[in-house]
């Protein structure tokens, strides 16, 4: 089993809440080829990748229905803050909890969407620190891949979008996932 992880966040503003959402979708190796093909069919000719945030309501319904039909198990950690907590700290807190909640000895690999060499290095350093301090027993392969290269990351982007919409009062997308798949949301 592999975990494909993506993020969504709102930037902190003075006197406003900020949110950092990190979603992991579990995909079995024997399903990867068919799910990649489905995701590629969902990509518009004008897109480099399927991206929730830039989609219309009609398109979001198509994306969420397509993902719900796949019934993929997913877990999301939402770091909610009323302070001006830095985005990178929110990511670390969410990633720590996500790895704790979603990894198991059967996880063969964890694939995170790349944010660039410097930020990817921050993730690797953070996970190494967690391993050294025995805060996680994840010993699986962890890699970063650009979103436009790996369509399986788009599944996590859709889950992130549904959760982010749910946190902002539009729960119909999240409810569709919960009804059709094993979905878990943890707010920290």
Domain that holds residue 173: 2-187
Instruction: Output b/e per residue, 67-85; b: 16+ Cβ within 10 A.
Output: bbebebbbbbbbbebeeee
pLDDT at 11: 58
Does the predicted TM-score (pTM) go above 0.85?
yes
pLDDT single digits (tens) 101-137: 876 656 788 999 999 999 999 999 998 888 888 766 6
Structural domains counted in the chain: 1
CB 96 within 8 A of CB 136: yes
CATH code, domain carrying 151: 3.30.420.10
pLDDT at 14: 47
- Cβ-in-10-Å burial (0-12, 13-18, 19+) of 134 comes to exposed
pLDDT single digits (tens) 16-72: 567 889 999 999 999 999 999 999 999 999 999 999 988 999 999 999 999 999 999
């Amino acid at each position: 089993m592999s975990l494909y992880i993506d993020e969504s966040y709102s930037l902190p503003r003075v006197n406003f809440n900020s949110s950092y959402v990190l979603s992991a979708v579990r995909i079995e190796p024997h399903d990867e080829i068919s799910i990649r093909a489905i995701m590629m069919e969902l990509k518009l000719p004008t897109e480099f990748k399927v991206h929730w945030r830039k989609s219309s309501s009609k398109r979001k319904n198509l994306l969420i229905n397509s993902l719900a039909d796949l019934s993929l198990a997913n877990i999301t950690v939402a770091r909610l803050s009323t302070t001006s907590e830095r985005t990178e700290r929110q990511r670390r807190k969410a990633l720590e909890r996500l790895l704790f909640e979603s990894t198991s000895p059967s996880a063969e690999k964890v694939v995170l969407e790349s944010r660039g060499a410097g930020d990817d290095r921050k993730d690797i350093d953070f996970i190494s620190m967690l391993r050294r301090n025995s805060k996680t027993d994840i010993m699986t392969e962890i890699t970063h891949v650009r979103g436009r290269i790996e369509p399986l990351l788009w599944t996590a982007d859709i889950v992130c979008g549904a959760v982010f919409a749910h946190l902002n009062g539009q729960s119909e997308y999240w409810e569709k996932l919960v009804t059709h798949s094993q979905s878990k949301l943890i707010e920290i």
